[in-house]
Chain A
């Protein structure tokens, strides 16, 4: 067993894990954060995307022991003070989902996109979603939701600056 200390959704976590424990297993099985999903087991589907030190990563392809001192954010840590994150709100308003299985990963992934590029084009959103597979929606409303979120966040910044 190895001991690892990290921060998950703002809370300190100090746990004993087997070295072969994946980050997604730590989150789901030890910390009961089951909003992060496992879809493919081949690192392709993106249902397990979380943020490590602010960057989106696939939690099925990271060992828990690698994350000593890291800050991890999962879908459960996105809403602040009972208010949905603008991306979650946009997915709700634009109905950017059907079954919802891929949604936590898609939301975490696209929050990272808007941190790097606050006004992506439709093409850039679609290209960014290479790492997230959705078998229901055909991506149409997902892309709409991301573009709507980008618009609202920019409008929010503008009104906050006034």
Chain B
């Protein structure tokens, strides 16, 4: 085991043994919160996220969120995250907020992308049943962004009859972390021995987007509609991403479903959807299942490839030591290579040895405080 991984594991065990609670200073005006995750992943074939054919230990990450209420109406907040595998320190968000009123709050800075159910909290494992988030919506695709650099207005409208609505309107530049598989299929001349599928950071400038969240009178049931588009200035290709989300969170049972449609003019469109449910058999032991589908379509000519497809069925078995500390064991059966490929993907395509199916196992721990 590499030294850095040992340190991660020891740190997680040590932190996990602590009482999980935020650090409050000045009567709650300043708050420090954190989260972390580490997992071992293995697969029988292709690499699927942290599950690699040879086994993979180096997936730890740790983040700290700091919020300071400067005055009754002014708030500043920032979140830093260190990801061992990605080899760096990331500024997830850093913004200043002015609260005109409950329905109108203005933010300027780097804002976490208000998108779907998990867009803003994709790194917080204690908020979901599976160690991995759904790949199509929150993975390395051009659907959900890692952050919006710009401004947003959002707030909560007064509730009526058990209904409650909150909203976000935002504009600026959107950062996306993507793995672009299209070139591997539509431009075979670019394939070369030893070629891989790198993770790239794309920035789409001049986007505008919104998210509506409607809480229903049924306790725990809420619906969302998210979307964004570009350009609001003619310097970028036309893009549109939109989709609904539905979530129920009860004491023992939770379920969520989301669908998103993504479109880039003259290039591609994609559909992705998933359905997941989880149930606490005891106060500590939770089981869950998920089915997910993703389909990419190249718009310039009809092309079919397993690199454009992802179908997955997964099961998870979780033990919650505390609501802020959970161990998760999940199994994933994947068909398609959109998110599951060998490292040397060019070789597999050139040699005709690309395998569609992957079985992956992930054992990990996640916590927050």
Does chain A bind chain B?
no
Interface set of A (CB-CB < 8 Å, partner B): none
